Amino acid sequence: MGKLMETKLGKVEITEEVIATIAGAAAIECYGLVGMASRKISDGVSGLLKRENLSKGVSVTFQEDIIVIDLNIIVGYGIKISEVASNVMDRVRYTVETMTGLKVSEVNVNVQGVRFLE
């Protein structure tokens, strides 16, 4: 089920997948983030198929009024991880909120890996 917004003219529903895609797209533009780590099997398949999957490594949960976004990311070695994580949180929250008009309660960043870049 998606997130419903009542307007004067009717309802707008935004699904988890949409929010996950927006969050993923915003995240991969963040500096210091060099990849998303997936824990879903389906992500692995689409990865093999070379389909672009922006929601990879992102999970979105709705609980009543609350939207929680979890991101599994990989950062580059030699970068201050705490700062990258907080930039990702800011960016994702800002982008999702401005694009959907919904309020994001939490953005959790799980740093799943560090990649050597040289």
How far is Cα 111 from Cα 88, in angstroms, rounded to an integer?
A: 11
Q: Count H helices, E strands: the chain? A: 3, 6
* The only residue of 20, 58, 67, 84 in contact with another protein, by rule CB under 8 A: 84
How far is Cα 65 from Cα 28, in angstroms, rounded to an integer?
A: 27
106 binding another protein? (CB under 8 A): no
Binding flags for another protein, 34-73, as an x/- string (CB under 8 A)? xx-----------------------------x--------
Q: What torsion, rounded to 10 degrees, do the Cα atoms 6, 10, 15, 19 define?
A: -60
30 versus 60: smaller Cβ distance to another protein: 30
96 binding another protein? (CB under 8 A): no
Q: Looking at 8-16, 38-46, 55-63, 78-86, which segment touches another protein (CB under 8 A)?
A: 78-86
Q: Looking at 2-10, 13-21, 40-48, 76-84, which segment touches another protein (CB under 8 A)?
A: 76-84
Distances (CA, A) of 19 to 15, 56, 84, 112: 7, 12, 21, 21
Give the residues across from 3 on adjacent strands.
14
* The only residue of 42, 103, 106, 108 in contact with another protein, by rule CB under 8 A: 103
